[in-house]
Structure 1
Amino acid sequence: MALPRAVIYCRCSTEEESQTKALRKQVEESETCIREQGWVLADRYVELKSGATTRGRDEYNRLFHDLQSDKFDIIVIKSQDRLMRNVKDWYLFLDRMLSHGKRLFMYIEQKFYTADDALITGIKAILAEEYSRELSKKINNAHHSRQKNGGKVMLTSRVFGFLKMADGSVKVIEEEAEIIRKIYAYSAAGYGSRAISNIFFKQGYVKRTGNTLTAASVTRIIRNPLYKGTMIMNRLHYDFETKKTVKVPKEQWIYREGAAPAIVDRELWEQANQAMTDRAAKFHCNEDRTGDRGKGQYELSGKIVCCQCGKPYYRTRRYGYADREHPVIEWKCSTYLEKGRKPPQGSVKTRKEAGSFPRGCDSIHLHENTVLDLLERISSDYCGFKGLDKDRIVGYTDRILRNILSGTSARKALEKTEKEEQRLEAQKDVLLTKLLEGVISDKNYQKKNDALEKELYRLKVQKEGFKQNEPEIRYSQQRIERIRNRLENGGFEKAAVSAMLKDIREIRVHEWQLEICFDPLRMTDVSSDKRGHTAWMPERLSGDFILRLDYPFAPETARGRYLDRRKIMEFLRRTPSMTAGKLAEQTGRSVYMVRKRMEELSKGGYIRFNGRGGRGTWEILKELPDKEESIRDGGL
């Protein structure tokens, strides 16, 4: 009979016990217990991190995952509080352990956990959680009192420009301080964060961690008052109930002047920050985006992510040589914008670089209009717009707007005055006719005509006053026309894209495809039968709804040329007699461009024309190489 397989889980119960010696002793006691019981040691789960919950505890999470495997039969722990102090997590652990036939042994009590222990262990978990809650309150209160009463400065080892000494004092790292002074000087001179980052990148500068000085790092440095000697504390607070770090209101922040040596003077700090604020106002954006991830000026801001380096895409604009009036809007990987492309393999370095000096990124650029066109193709199905009578909706909207916007008092009063003026003019004509026919006397005519003239003059004065409001009326009419034009020229599609983008968590950029990742919580309504288009559903992977779309590369790019050649070969395979003109219609390219691609395929030995005088058929001689090989070889 095989011996039972056992694993050990060891962890410090409090931060005070997190010395290596205490943890080593716990491991030795656990292994001794396994030997005495005659079991086989299958694995060790040793954790240095303490805490009341399972968040951030890698070894515990590995053990929790392995409960579902056939790796071991018994878990050995010192006591219940070494495993966790959270009631909910405790019962989740027990449920998974028992459902997979595992047993829990506590060597301090020398006993296995049984169903009879459920009540007492639950009480222990509650008491342990309450102990952790009180301990958290005491620690938070101690931190707050130390900060408020001028205790030791709390700095991490990652703060650029400073080094915290063993006695609690703060020392300036002069080499990094010189870089910080240059950053503030550049900012005050009008340079943006990305421009400053590029300056240091071209100089080959890296931080002590080996990473480059990114634009986000430059922004954080400029905005940080620590570099003028002022430290802001009590900005964050750990909430034990929610198990999250929350932001403290600004009025509760603690400011300590002179808490650290000033690297830049206050005047330069203010100039640099004011210049950054002015630049942000000029371009209608917030240059300090460190606390507002996922939100931006444009609909696609924060949505597009590079799958090569994991960095976000940024919106850029450039002008072509032939057209200097209409910019080309593109989205490019932020790593590429900061560091360029990856150097070719085997290329000689042009400057000294640190061993971990990060390289660039070879991800593709995206044309904004192309991405929006792709989203428009699926947005009608997504929002249920397909099959709607758009002309009828536009006409109905136009009538409603005209009734609303033309129903102002000024417009109505003007129309009423004009109608009254026309009525009085008609009465004058009738009166003149009666005078000529001798129906009325000259005296009566003159009397009634004077009365009509007097009333017409009053209406004329009133009408002139109303005409002063004509710009408002004209603006309303122009506004209605603009709304109608927008609805008739893609307004429905743009509205559908905007609505769908709210449900899209991110757009992942691959070499040839885009992955549209929908938020599963927002997709619940889409998956129901209410919208009547359940045939359209993205693939669900790892909790996300994912829709994959081939990116239509422009024909002047290497990838675009490859895709055009592949389309041409597919059409020729189905219809060998197809002409260049027909191929142009099918592919949406010009005849010249199709002939150019066919010429390249012929020279490469992929196709051959059998016939003469324009009569004959095309023969496929060999298949195109795969996508990546084709791009590496320059297209063929």
Structure 2
Amino acid sequence: MYARVSTHEQAEQGYSIDAQLDTLRGYCKKNGLEVYEEYIDAGISGTSLKGRVALQRLQQDAEKGLFDELLVWKINRLARNAYNLLGILDHLEHHNVSFRSYSDNFETSTPIGKFAFQMMGAVGELERNTIVENVKMGMKQRAKKGEHNGKLPLGYRVVPDPGNLSKRSKAVTVVPEEALIIRKIFELYAAGRGLKSIANELNHTGYKTKTGNTFSTTAIKEILNNPFYSGKVRYNRYDNWSNKRRRGKSAEPIIADGKHEAIIHDVLWEKVQFLLQKKSFTPARIFDGEFLLSGLIRCPKCGAAMVASRTRSKTKTGEIVNRLYYSCGAFRSKGSSVCSANSIRKQEAEEEVMNRLARVLSKDRILKAIVDKINHRLATRTIPLQEELKHIRSQLEQAESKKRLYLDLIEQNKLDNSTVAERIQEIQAKLNELQANKSRLELELTEGNTSPVVFEQVRELIRGFHQVLTAAPFEQRKTLLHLFIKRITMDASKKIETIELSFDENVDSYFSDSTVAAAAGDSLQHKQARKREKIEIVI
């Protein structure tokens, strides 16, 4: 059985996990069906397959032949996208697993059932798209009327509307202590301070963002660009954000006079916008250099990704010398209150990484010792995971008991529903979190990547990796490093400590690329074309 719920609204409309499971359990009991497992994705949208750990585990169990039929309350619980829906069905059919929907009253073991499934999938996607369009239309109308949509930025909060007796009616009010931060940001920028300088000062003072994080240059720029602070409401800044992200910038965003109080007066707002526009051109590149490892090396102090940097100095003869480094990204964007530069010379870092790869490749005994260590860790890693899973299952039982107790007291009229509704919601949120962790651990325990690593396979992977890395152009070498190197750590003395490599099915697709294979100059094409389980090694 599979159950999913994405929002509190669905739970309120009767789609809750408990309601789905109770219905499906009753159906199985009535028809004499044995339940192998209940797969639950709580608080996750059905728009895509991303993040649906229980569904991934379900598909793996189907591959192993652990059950022969999948039962859901309604097909939109499985997916709200026809493409994803048909992909899941095809995967199940390939492994001889039939599909049945309780509410839609059909199953896929017959041609008519398959046809009905496809039609219902298309109808479900149309229904979802219609709902999305209606919601967007409503939000556009709210924006045009000056009402906010979504989360409020730093400086504001929602309170009950004193002019409206309806419980759902809310008003936006200024948070004085947060408004001070916003005014300071605008005033400092108007006075000529840069984004990093402002972030550095705020972080030194101890100010935090809306989410409790330190300020970055990106966060400062987002605040300076937000017309909400000038009393305006902006909506439809991006189209199709879930797929396009910042690439989908809208040509016609809605900007209207808001019903909320402005924090920044018009004169200061206009001055800041003028300065932002003046500084918006892309400057010429201040230094040359091909940085292979930016984003891969981690700061030894805070763990942030190291980025490209340089220093300039003048020799006795008057010549300007540029020295290239990798420096802490958090220091570069947030200032010295967060971290320090912790720089390492570019040439030194890249030579050490390349030399270490070459040493491991040339000495089988070193690689063999690494593989043995990996296999030992794989053999023992399941024990803590099983202990954690046991603990989470115990917590789930306790939370379920608390929830049932409250519901029983409400049914017996010993408690008023309105007085404990918030507590029940808190318990349900905790249940969703525990269920997600349970699904993650169960997936990790059942994944095939716990099988022993074969020494010959690792040696061949590193040989191919090294051949491409030494022969390909810079862009391909950088792509390869970022594809296969998970993390490079430094020790306190700013020396390369460990290089974590991760190989999975992407290895084959990258090595079989004709351009890369030609650069390597040997027969890397179509090497081990079958899907490979992930292999992680530390050198």
Q: Report matched runs for 1:25-64 at 5 Å.
A: 25-36=19-30, 37=32, 39-40=34-35, 42-64=37-59
Q: 1:254-273 counterparts in 2 under 5 A?
A: 254-273=254-273
What SS does structure 1 have at the residue aligned with 2:330? helix
Q: Are the aligned partners of 1:232 and 1:255 in contact in 2 as well (CA < 8 Å)?
A: yes
Matched, 1:84 2:84: no
AA at the equivalent of 2:22: E
Matched-pair contact (CA < 8 Å) for 1:214–1:338 = yes
- The residue type paired with residue 296 of structure 2 is V
| Alignment-derived partner of residue 456 in structure 2 | none
- Residue 225 of structure 1 aligns with an amino acid whose one-letter code is P
For residue 497 of structure 1, what is the aligned residue in structure 2? 474
Note if contact 1:330-1:367 (Cα within 8 Å) is conserved in structure 2. Answer: yes
Aligned-partner Cα distance in 1 for 2:277–2:262:
22
Alpha-carbon offset, residue 366 of structure 1: 3.2
Q: For the structure 1 residues 301 and 277, does the alpha-carbon distance in structure 2 shift closer, same or farther, using more than 3 Å as the test?
A: farther
Which of 476, 480, 489 lines up with 1:510 in the alignment?
489
Structure 1 residue 303: Cα displacement? 4.3
Q: Does 2:8 correspond to 1:19?
A: no
Is the counterpart of residue 121 in structure 1 residue 117 in structure 2?
A: yes
Partner of 2:225: 223
Q: 2:394 is matched with which residue? A: none
Deviation at 1:160, TM superposition (A): 1.3
Higher mean alpha-carbon deviation, 268-277 vs 197-206, is at 268-277
Q: Secondary structure at the match of 1:136?
A: helix
Partner of residue 154 from structure 2, selected from 135, 160, 169 = 160
> Which residue is 2:173 aligned to?
171
Partner-residue secondary structure (3-state), 1:304: coil
In the alignment, is the contact (CA less than 8 A) between 1:147 and 1:234 conserved in 2? no
d(CA) in 1 for partners of 2:519, 2:285? 39
1:72–1:221 Cα change, 3 Å:
same
CA apart distance, 1:332: 0.9
The letter of the residue matching 1:368 is K
Deviations 1:256-305 (A, max 9, x none): 1345422122322333344455566696479xxxxxxxxx9975499433
Using a 3 Å threshold, how does the CA distance of structure 1 residues 192 and 540 change in structure 2: closer, same or farther? farther
Report what 1:305 is aligned to.
296
Deviation at 1:156, TM superposition (A): 0.6
Letter of the aligned partner of 2:159 in structure 1? M
Unmatched 5+ stretches in structure 1: 1-6, 287-295, 342-357, 379-492, 551-636
Q: State the one-letter code of the partner of 2:42.
A: E
Return the alpha-carbon distance in structure 2 between the equivalents of residues 99 and 161 of structure 1: 54
2:186 counterpart letter in structure 1: Y
Deviation at 1:542, TM superposition (A): 9.7
Distance 1:366 1:284 in 2: 25
Matches within 5 A, 1:474-493: none
Task: Give me the whole-angstrom Cα distance separating, in 2, the residues matched to 1:76 and 1:535.
Answer: 44
Q: Which residue of 1 aligns with 2:216?
A: 214
Which residue identity does 1:366 align to in structure 2? I
Q: Contact conserved, 2:294 with 2:307, CA < 8 A, in 1?
A: no
Residues in 2 aligned to 1:515 and 1:503: alpha-carbon distance in whole angstroms: 14
1:368 to 346, 351, 357: 346
Residues in 2 aligned to 1:190 and 1:124: alpha-carbon distance in whole angstroms = 59
Contact 1:504 1:516 (C-alpha < 8 Å) held by counterparts: no
Report the AA paired with residue 345 of structure 2.
Answer: H
Look at both structures and tell me which one has the larger radius of gyration over its CA atoms. 1
Distance 1:527-1:275 versus aligned 2 partners, 3 A rule? closer
**C-alpha spacing 1:234/1:310, structure 2 compared with 1 (3 Å):** farther
1:316 corresponds to: 309
The number of equivalent residue pairs is 399
The answer on whether the counterparts of 1:317 and 1:329 sit within 8 Å (CA) in structure 2 is yes
Aligned residues of 2:308 and 2:326 also touching (Cα < 8 A):
yes
Alpha-carbon distance in 2 for matches of 1:331, 1:310: 13
1:528 corresponds to: 517
Partner of 2:380: none
Counterpart of 1:436 in structure 2 is none
Partner residue, 1:134 = 130
Letter in 1 for 2:25: E
Q: Check whether the contact 1:228–1:269 (CA below 8 A) recurs between aligned residues.
A: yes
Larger RCO, structure (CA 8 Å, separation 6 or more): 2
Relative to structure 1, the CA distance from residue 57 to residue 134 in structure 2 (aligned partners, 3 Å threshold; closer, same or farther) is same
Quote how far apart the aligned CAs of 1:252 are. Answer: 1.4
Deviation larger for 49-58 or 118-127? 49-58
Residue 205 (structure 2) aligned to one of 193, 200, 203: 203
User: TM-score under structure 2 normalisation?
Assistant: 0.59
Q: Residues 248 and 532 from structure 1, CA distance in 2 versus in 1: closer, same or farther, beyond 3 angstroms?
A: closer
Deviation at 1:255, TM superposition (A): 1.5
| CA shift for structure 1 position 39 | 2.2
Contact 1:335 1:360 (C-alpha < 8 Å) held by counterparts: yes
Contact 1:200 1:213 in 2 (8 A): yes
Q: Are 1:301 and 1:314, in contact at CA under 8 Å, matched by a contact in 2?
A: no
Change over 3 Å in CA distance of 1:537–1:220 after alignment to 2: farther
Contact 1:314-1:332 within 8 A present in 2 as well? yes
Verify the 8 A CA contact 1:47 1:60 in the aligned structure 2. Answer: no
Retained in 2: the 8 A contact 1:538–1:547? no
- Counterpart CA distance in 1 for 2:107 and 2:141 is 44
Q: 1:517 to 1:122 in 2, by over 3 A?
A: same
- Match for 1:104: what amino acid? F
Give the residue type in structure 2 aligned to 1:509.
I
Q: Which AA in structure 2 matches 1:127?
A: V
SS of equivalent residue, structure 2 residue 206: coil
**Cα shift at 1:179:** 0.8
CA RMSD of aligned residues (A): 4.9
Distance in 1 (CA, whole Å) between partners of 2:499 and 2:530 is 15
